[in-house]
Amino acid sequence: MLEIKLNDQEAKEILLKEILRQEEGLELIASENYVSLDVLNALGSVLTNKYAEGYPGKRYYGGCEFVDMAEDLARDRVKKLFGCEYVNVQPHSGSQANMAVYFSILKPGDKIMGLNLAHGGHLTHGSPVNFSGRFFEVISYNVREDNQLVDFDQVESLAKQNKPKAIVIGASAYPRDWDYKKFREIADSIGAYLIADIAHPAGLIASKLLNDPLPYCDFVTTTTHKTLRGPRGGMIMIGKDFENREGIRAPKSGRLKMMSEIIDSNVMPGIQGGPLMHVILAKAVAFGEALRPEFVEYSKQVIKNAQRLATRFIEKGYKVTTNGTDNHLILIDLRSKGLTGKQAEDALGLAGITVNKNMVPYDTQSPMVTSGIRIGTPAVTTRGMKEPEMDIIFNFIDSALSNVNDTQKLNSIREEVKQFCSKFPIYKELLNSIS
Ligand code: DSN
């Protein structure tokens, strides 16, 4: 059991409030999850004290014999989990993982192609306000207006016309699986690198419930804290087939070794200094958990729960983009209900339900208002909630969205949500242990 002893009263008060918020509310942000007490224990450990610039066996500091073991354990477990040949577990976040890959293969001014942020893409896939859009020339591909699915005709014609040096696959708000093979064919036709950013569905891919990008993509980046349920952080993988892939700008033999060294040096010293060794130990713990059969069952339930919620919303006349989901999230277009994403996020927040407002494809509102909300099931599934609970959650949400201006009603839903959540405790031991 994890015990928290905090003598700093102000810090303790904040911590208690946040634990209660996570315990008593419904956490439906698609990129969030609840880590295990084991992961928390590793995170809150003395490994935070250690500087370890470099890599296992090749550090710039003494005293690294045990943190070397932590990093090796994390790397070995990732290789087993995803079947990759190489991994770097040091990126502090998904953004840094992407940055290190871009800097390994691109020069400033080179062209990259990624999914439009306003269509579900990610900041680091070429948004003008992000380093990716400032350092590189960006071509964005879209989803189709009629079915909200990736527009492959457009991907192909934009690729042929612009010849980007790298194509990025992946999204923050796309409820469907990806056809990595089709992207590979397009990338090969113009000699582009192919990068998959699987930050959102990583746990579902590790559980072999969604398509595997590793046989088709040159680089696979991810965060470790979403469906993978680890500590916050990032990593970069290269698959077994890299050595034989056509079009890689590297010598015919030893490509993987060469590219691994390039990636390693672009993570450190390229963009980061000392790795966060406590986080790397916690990553190792989370990967160990993800290797257990129970994790596959968990991932299956994450998808079932998202699909159940999608069905309930559709039945009640809500517009669910792509008309459903293959993964852990659904994206709801609230325009037909006369609501903005902001109104919905605020009302649901008052009702004890945390979601985020989100642009929907071809949105008519600004990113601070939006026409949609994104709902994800990783966290509630970790609490043990299944399909019957999704029906209850749907009713809470529908009721709140039907009464966005009725504070009394929203308060009463909040009480019901609290009662409901008390049947699925998550950090009760933690709360009881705080002194
Ligand atoms: N901010 C994350 C998300 O919510 O999807 C992506 O980085």
- pLDDT single digits (tens) 31-68: 999 999 999 999 999 999 999 999 999 999 999 999 99
Type of residue at 314: I
The set of protein residues with a Cβ atom below 6 angstroms from ligand 1 is 31, 94, 122, 172
8 A C-beta contact, residue 202 and residue 226: yes
d(CA 172, ligand 1 centre) in Å: 6
Asked if residues 296 and 289 have their Cβ atoms less than 8 Å apart, the reply is: no
Q: What is the pLDDT of residues 205-241, one digit of tens each?
A: 999 999 999 999 999 999 999 999 999 999 999 998 8
Q: How far apart are CA 92 and CA 99, in angstroms?
A: 11
- Give the torsion sign (CA, 351, 310, 120, 284): positive
Tokens 């009702």 sit on residue: 351
Cα of 181 vs centre of ligand 1, distance in Å, is 25
* pLDDT tens string 238-293: 998 888 776 555 666 788 999 999 999 999 999 999 999 999 999 999 999 999 99
Ligand 1 atom nearest residue 223's Cα: 7
Specify the domain boundaries for CATH 3.40.640.10 within the chain: 42-290
- One of 1.10.10.10, 3.40.50.80, 3.40.640.10, 3.10.100.10 is the CATH number of 42-290, namely 3.40.640.10
* Percent of all residues in the chain with a pLDDT value above 70, rounded to a whole number: 97
Contacts of 218 (CB under 8 A, 6+ apart): 193, 194, 195, 238, 242, 245, 248
Locate the ligand 1 atom nearest the alpha carbon of residue 356 and give its number.
Answer: 4
Atom of ligand 1 nearest to the CA of 173: 5
Report how far ligand 1's centroid is from the alpha carbon of 27 (Å).
Answer: 14
- Determine which helix (DSSP H) or strand (DSSP E) holds 88, and give its type and residue range: strand 84-88
pTM of structure: 0.97
- The whole-chain average pLDDT of the chain stands at 96
The pLDDT confidence band at residue 174, using thresholds 50, 70 and 90, is very high
For the CA atoms of 253, 257, 261, 264, what is the dihedral angle to 10 degrees? 140
Q: What is the rounded CA–CA span in Å between residue 48 and residue 277?
A: 6
What is the mean predicted confidence (pLDDT) over 110-136? 97
Return all residues near 435 (Cβ < 8 A) that are at least 6 apart.
3, 4, 5
Catalytic residues: 51, 53, 197, 223, 226, 232
Residues of the chain with CATH 3.90.1150.10: 300-433
CATH class of 300-433: alpha beta
Per-residue confidence band for 434, with pLDDT thresholds at 50, 70 and 90: confident
